[in-house]
C-alpha cells in the first residue's frame, strides 16, 4: 500500500463518524440544537462541507471557489440550513473534491510543508489529522443533537 493509499484510507475511515449518521437524519432534525445558543444540526453539516472544501483548496491547492458562510467572525447560525438534500449534496461534493486532492498526492508530497492561517506550518500528513479530527468533532456534536437535542 502506498502512503497516499494509506492516508486516503485513514481519512475515509475517520469520516465514517459522519457518514454513518447521515442516513438517520431527517429534515426535521436540521433545526435541532443542544442549547438555544449552540449551532443547529443543519449548520454543522454545512460547516463540515465548507471546511473540507477549504482544506482541499488551502492544503492541496485545488482550484475551487469556496463560499464559506459558516466560517469566520461573521458566521452565525440563524437556522438557514434547512434543505437536507442540498446539505447532503454539499457533503458529497466536499468528499469528492477532497478525495480527488488526496489521490493526486505522491508519497513524497505527504512530507511537504504547507502553511495556513488556521493551523500554521504542518506537513500534509500532519494536516490530515486536522481535517479528520475536525469532522469527527462535529460529528460527535451531531450525534449528541440527534440523541438529546431539542
**DSSP letter string, 67-92:** --SSSSTT----S----HHHHHHHHH
pLDDT (0 to 100) of residue 73: 86
Cα torsion 36, 37, 39, 41 to 10°: value is 0
pLDDT (0 to 100) of residue 74: 85
Radius of gyration of the chain (CA): 16
* pLDDT tens, position by position, 37-66: 999 999 999 999 999 999 999 999 999 999
Residue 73 and residue 15: Cα distance in Å, rounded? 26
Element (H, E) at 135: helix 124-148
Cell of 144: 449528541
Residue 13 and residue 7: Cα distance in Å, rounded? 10
Residue 145 and residue 105: Cα distance in Å, rounded? 36
Q: Which domains does the chain have, with CATH numbers?
A: 3-15+26-148 (1.20.120.450)
pLDDT (0 to 100) of residue 117: 87
- State whether residue 138 is helix, strand or coil: helix
Mean pLDDT of 131-146: 97
* pLDDT tens, position by position, 63-107: 999 989 999 888 999 999 999 999 999 999 999 999 999 999 999
- Tell me the pTM: 0.96
Residue 2 and residue 147: Cα distance in Å, rounded? 39
Task: Report the percent of the chain where pLDDT is more than 90.
Answer: 94
Amino acid at each position: 500500500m502506498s502512503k497516499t493509499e494509506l492516508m486516503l484510507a485513514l481519512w475515509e475511515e475517520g469520516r465514517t463518524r459522519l457518514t454513518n449518521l447521515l442516513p438517520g437524519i431527517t429534515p426535521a432534525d436540521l433545526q435541532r440544537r443542544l442549547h438555544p445558543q449552540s449551532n443547529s444540526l443543519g449548520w454543522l453539516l454545512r460547516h463540515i462541507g465548507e471546511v473540507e472544501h477549504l482544506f482541499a483548496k488551502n492544503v492541496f491547492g485545488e482550484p475551487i471557489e469556496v463560499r464559506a458562510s459558516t466560517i469566520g467572525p461573521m458566521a452565525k447560525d440563524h437556522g438557514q440550513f434547512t434543505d437536507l438534500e442540498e446539505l447532503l449534496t454539499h457533503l458529497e461534493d466536499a468528499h469528492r473534491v477532497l478525495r480527488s486532492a488526496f489521490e493526486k498526492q505522491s508519497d513524497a508530497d505527504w512530507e511537504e510543508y504547507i502553511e495556513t492561517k488556521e493551523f500554521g506550518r504542518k506537513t500534509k500528513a500532519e494536516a490530515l489529522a486536522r481535517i479528520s479530527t475536525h469532522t469527527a468533532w462535529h460529528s460527535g456534536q451531531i450525534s449528541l443533537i440527534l440523541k438529546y437535542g431539542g
